[in-house]
Amino acid sequence: MNTNVKVIFNRSKKLDNNNEALVQIRTYTGNGRYRFISTGISISKSDWDPKKTCVRKTHPFHDVYNQKIANTLAQIMLGNDFTVKNNTAQSFNNYFTEKLDKEKIIKEVSRRNHHMTLNHLNKFNRHINISEINQALMNNFQQYLHAAGLANNTVVRHLKCVKRYINLLADDEFITREKASNTKVKPKWESTKFVFLTMNEVEAIAKLEPTTESVRKTQNAFLLSCYTGLRHSDIMRLKMSDFYEKEEGLYIFLGEMRKVKKQLFLPLYKFFDGRGEKLAKQLLDDSEDLMFPKFNSVKANVNIKVLAHAAGIKKHLTYHTSRHTFGTLLATETKNMFDVMTYMGHGSSETSLNYIHYSQLL
């Protein structure tokens, strides 16, 4: 056999969920570089003969598999291009969906973000062929996201997610590395302004009387976050059992905040003239288990803009504005950096100092 061509089993040294690995053919392309061509055959280690570089006769389809390996080798020797798989009938939307469903190592919040990207992609074009992957497609998807009213950094996040799955296409040999590299995310991440509300602006939102259940739920959750600093990821999991009534007043106790993995023991009665305690008691009367069931962050951000407009607030608000608001108002009231660190779960005093700085602007 040509020494520049070799049959390889389990190049990555990892087995899949079926304890099998891929058989590939390695070809030398010059300048110390190799190309690996998939045969599409996955077998167990015990079924591979490393000396004869073939499938052992113990495998029920050894003759079929070995013939396929031989045919692939013959095509390579003839100079046929096996750089990518036949992708003419492959749907990128389906590929994205299947990869996401099989992905086990990404965090739950990342999985939700990937699903949001996939939803946008399907609304943009539900039938994207893998052969259509190029820069023009990325540019058109970018224009679609901007036209949908998404902020620049949200657009960048969705584009980077799509880029991740385009790179996986190259890993799985559906497209070339060159094509994946040439399909780029063009817009850049922008540093965001630190936006917070004054207590008067918070009160303006509190006085509103929404006419829909969705906006009312967002109003209550947003206000509670303004009084507690809880992130959306913690608010959506907040239960009645997370509240404790003691002689001095109402507390929230979280065994672990979702993002920073720290405990939180927050005295609601202690700050902002007890506004957080008063709101929480109203909500506890109406709650069964989860205080805000099925609370979607995308819908919440849309509703927050509705609330801001109705309250006459011209700042660009998102749900995270509530956390900035809590930190700034807390720093204003206590003037204590360690209170800010403790109740916001900061790992760095520098982050807490930012709130002390912004509190001086009030």
pLDDT at 107 over 90: no
Are the C-beta atoms of residues 313 and 204 closer than 8 Å to each other? Answer: yes
Determine the Cα–Cα distance for residues 149 and 298; give it in Å rounded to an integer: 12
Residue 88 pLDDT level (bands cut at 50, 70, 90): very low
Determine the Cα–Cα distance for residues 307 and 298; give it in Å rounded to an integer: 15
The amino acid at 352: S
Axis crossing angle, helix 213-228 with helix 321-334, rounded to the nearest 10: 40
Tell me the pTM.
0.57
Predicted confidence at residue 37, as pLDDT, reads 80
Give the other-Cβ count within 10 Å of 213's Cβ: 8
* Digit-coded pLDDT (tens) for 54-83: 999 988 878 878 888 888 888 777 765 555
* Digit-coded pLDDT (tens) for 120-171: 999 888 888 888 899 999 999 999 898 887 888 889 999 999 999 999 998 8
In the chain, residues under CATH classification 1.10.443.10 are: 199-359
Superfamily (CATH) of domain 199-359 = Intergrase catalytic core (1.10.443.10)
Are the C-beta atoms of residues 265 and 187 closer than 8 Å to each other? Answer: no
Determine the Cα–Cα distance for residues 18 and 10; give it in Å rounded to an integer: 13
pLDDT at 89 over 60: no
- Is CATH 2.60.120 what the domain over 92-182 is classified as, yes or no? no
Structure tokens at 72: 């692939």
Determine the Cα–Cα distance for residues 31 and 73; give it in Å rounded to an integer: 22
Residue holding tokens 């509530």? Answer: 322
What does the angle CA 352 – CA 341 – CA 261 come to, to the nearest 5 degrees?
120
Work out the average pLDDT over 262-289. Answer: 89
Predicted confidence at residue 67, as pLDDT, reads 86
In the chain, residues under CATH classification 1.10.150 are: 92-182
Work out the average pLDDT over 323-329. Answer: 95
pLDDT at 274 over 90: yes
The DSSP call for residue 174 is S
The DSSP call for residue 84 is S
Please choose, from the candidates 90, 138, 89, the residue with its C-alpha nearest in 3D space to the C-alpha of residue 117: 138
Name the average pLDDT for the chain: 87
* Digit-coded pLDDT (tens) for 180-207: 999 999 888 877 778 999 999 999 999 9
